[in-house]
Structure 1
Amino acid sequence: MFKQIFALIPIIAAVLANEKTILLSNDDGWAALNIRAAYRELTNAGYNVILSAPARQRSGWSGKFQIPDSKTLKEAGEFNYPPKGSPSWGHESDNNKIWYFDGTPGAAVAFGLEYVIPNYFNDTKVDLVVNGPNEGTNLGNGMYTISGTIGATYNAVYRNYPGIAISGSNGNNSFFKDFENDENDTLLAANIYAKKVVQFVDQLFKGAKDDSILPITTGLNINFPSVGYDDESCKDPEWVFTKFSGKDSTTSDLKYNKESGLFESSSIGSEALYTCVFGNCSLEGESQLLADKNCKTSVSAFSVDYSASKDQEETIHGALNGLF
């Protein structure tokens, strides 16, 4: 028996040496169903997952960086979890790998990287930052500066961490405790998305050429279609490499309602959103792919180098030539 145990030691050590650490966050809050399902499946797959997410729903907060100004919560966490008056940051009583922070998505990522991991996990090297799956899609370059999920991701990329924003088409805001007995429900969207996240992360690590995982300045934006109960014909969506821009891309807009005398939210498309300047312009746009409803998941790369192209710079420089 002891010989068998000692024989396993090198194998166990090799597994531990190859263990990858993932910081998991979102903008829907730490108690959202999608992120808890992703945490479960990534952990079950052997990843060292540390969850650090906002205490409350912070969808649409983009890349804004807001931290708590009080040691206790002035408002209850989402689903009253935790209640008002609780510490402004903390973790599950039975799991110190699951944390909340009373801040925006970008700040929750920084909290995980700069406070939780150095102080509680011996400054473990983080190999990848995953945000989501969001409850609702974040499609097209019009959403880049609006989405809290994407905002949390580029806040990670700014810090030299490879980052992925993941969004689902299940737009409901669900409390994970309401689904604790549904882990094996094969039609529950959160479960389907979580398993697809593992599949994607597995391939990303497998195919990476070096420890950087993704080229510096870059991140990924992933959007899942409707699956399971929302579309029972779609249980294992196909992966498609796409681009941000393209047909069906929109951004937020407003319209004036003469009857109510108030403004209403709407969306608008434009040539600026449809036009491709960088990257492979022959790729299908992610908004169009999801609009076609063919059980396909979009995967788009982005860069936090916001410089204009050389041709664009030269055109602008020429117009301003008298100033330089």
Structure 2
Amino acid sequence: MGVPSLLKSASVAALLVGASEAANIIQANDDGWAELYLRSFHNAMIADGHDAVVSAPGSDLSGSGSLNTTPTDRILACEYDSCPADTLTPTGTNASDTRLNWVNSFPATSMEYGINEFGPGIWGAGTVPDLAVAGPNVGSNIGFIQVEGSGTVGATCYAVDQGIPAIAFSGITTGNLAWDTEPVPLRSTLYAELALEVTNAVLAAGTPYLPDDVFLNVNMAAVEGNCTDTSAFSYILTRINTPSILSTSDTPTCGDTWLPTETSVMDDGGCYVSISVGTCSDKTDASAADQLTVLNKLSGLLSCLPA
């Protein structure tokens, strides 16, 4: 990524944060606390003035949905040896950066501990996060089957169920990366920048950031070909499921009464970020009214697909 792109992205992000305020943000994932995608996004939020706190599983627990169990004492080392074996504690904190924390349980449990313990431990007792984010996930979370089983979405919906607005981020490019990978691959940096722009756009729109029971499911196209700079990407409002005969119409936009599916947008091969509005009660598409609320809030960010 060239310097002009970094400056452009930083400029957009600064304007969006300036329009709102720096936020207290809880961040989880399902790939583990030491996964580089999560760390790059965390670092981007901190650099942009947000007070982000990580609370994520000590190991990769992808595909665990909304499972939530009390963490047990950890015996094995954390992923990438990021915590030693035989810690014999259910949670842990990075000694040099207390905003980085692991939980020996599922992504949803990690989000729970972040909201109730790690976040307030940094911000002050009783402080509720302004926003929760999960990811970016290593790989896509598109369509009902992936969304239903996603630990990234499960963590996001735990926050929503506590009344905290939340966003699930996923990057199509796969390949797990340790937190200390050097040099940092472009895909990790680029996904962090794209996720930050969506986060800041939501915050800049003001409270309430999202409707009740609603989460955003965000998927970012593969970092390859022409899609290697933030300026190449367009943000598209999408839906999770293909409409059926029982479906009601989406909010009208871009000359259509149906939104494109996130699967069709990601399969298009273009430089797109799909943003679907889902409900945590069933992890499927939100109502047209809730879609319209998000459309209005993110109108300055969203684009239409080419005709």
Shared fold per TM-score greater than 0.5:
yes
Q: Which residue of 1 aligns with 2:271?
A: 295
Aligned length: 258
Matched ranges for 1:86-125 at <5 A:
86=87, 87-123=89-125, 124-125=127-128
CA distance in 2, matches of 1:106, 1:26: 9
Select the structure with the greater relative contact order (CA < 8 A; seq sep ≥ 6): 2
CA distance in 2, matches of 1:69, 1:113: 19
Change (3 A) 1:107 1:233: closer
Please point out which of 197, 206, 220 is paired with 1:199: 197
What letter is aligned with 2:216? L
CA distance in 2, matches of 1:116, 1:194: 22
**Which segment is superposed worse, 80-89 or 92-101?**
80-89
What letter is aligned with 2:119? I
Q: Structure 1: 5+ residue runs without aligned partners?
A: 1-14, 248-270, 310-324
Q: Per-residue deviation at 1:218?
A: 0.6
Q: Structure 2: 5+ residue runs without aligned partners?
A: 1-17, 252-256, 286-307
Judge conservation of contact 1:131–1:164 (CA < 8 Å) in 2. yes
CA distance in 2, matches of 1:298, 1:217: 20
CA distance in 1, matches of 2:70, 2:283: 29
Over the matched positions of the two proteins, sequence identity in percent amounts to: 24
Q: Which residue of 1 aligns with 2:72?
A: 69
Are 1:40 and 2:43 counterparts?
Answer: yes
SS of match in other structure, 1:90: strand
Please point out which of 238, 244, 264 is paired with 1:242: 238
Judge conservation of contact 1:246–1:288 (CA < 8 Å) in 2. no
What letter is aligned with 2:86? G
Q: Per-residue deviation at 1:171?
A: 1.2
CA distance in 2, matches of 1:28, 1:307: 20
Are 1:223 and 2:219 counterparts?
Answer: yes
CA distance in 1, matches of 2:52, 2:133: 10
Judge conservation of contact 2:28–2:107 (CA < 8 Å) in 1. yes
Judge conservation of contact 1:246–1:286 (CA < 8 Å) in 2. no
Matched ranges for 1:149-188 at <5 A:
149-179=152-182, 181-182=183-184, 188=186
What letter is aligned with 2:34? A
Q: Per-residue deviation at 1:39?
A: 0.5
- Per-residue CA deviation, residues 256-315 of structure 1 (Å, 9 max, x unaligned), is xxxxxxxxxxxxxxx69xx74464361000011001111111000011344999xxxxxx
Judge conservation of contact 2:29–2:134 (CA < 8 Å) in 1. yes
Higher CA-based Rg: 1
Q: Which residue of 2 aligns with 1:282?
A: 258
CA distance in 1, matches of 2:248, 2:145: 15
Q: Per-residue deviation at 1:120?
A: 4.2
Q: Per-residue deviation at 1:104?
A: 0.2
Judge conservation of contact 2:249–2:258 (CA < 8 Å) in 1. no
Q: TM-score, normalised by structure 1?
A: 0.74
Q: TM-score, normalised by structure 2?
A: 0.78
What letter is aligned with 1:282? W
- Per-residue CA deviation, residues 191-235 of structure 1 (Å, 9 max, x unaligned), is 001011111111111113x2x3111111100000001xx334442
Q: Per-residue deviation at 1:134?
A: 0.4
- Per-residue CA deviation, residues 21-70 of structure 1 (Å, 9 max, x unaligned), is 11111000000010000011111011011111110001000000023232
Matched ranges for 1:125-164 at <5 A:
125-164=128-167
Measured on the aligned residues, the alpha-carbon RMSD in Å equals 2.4
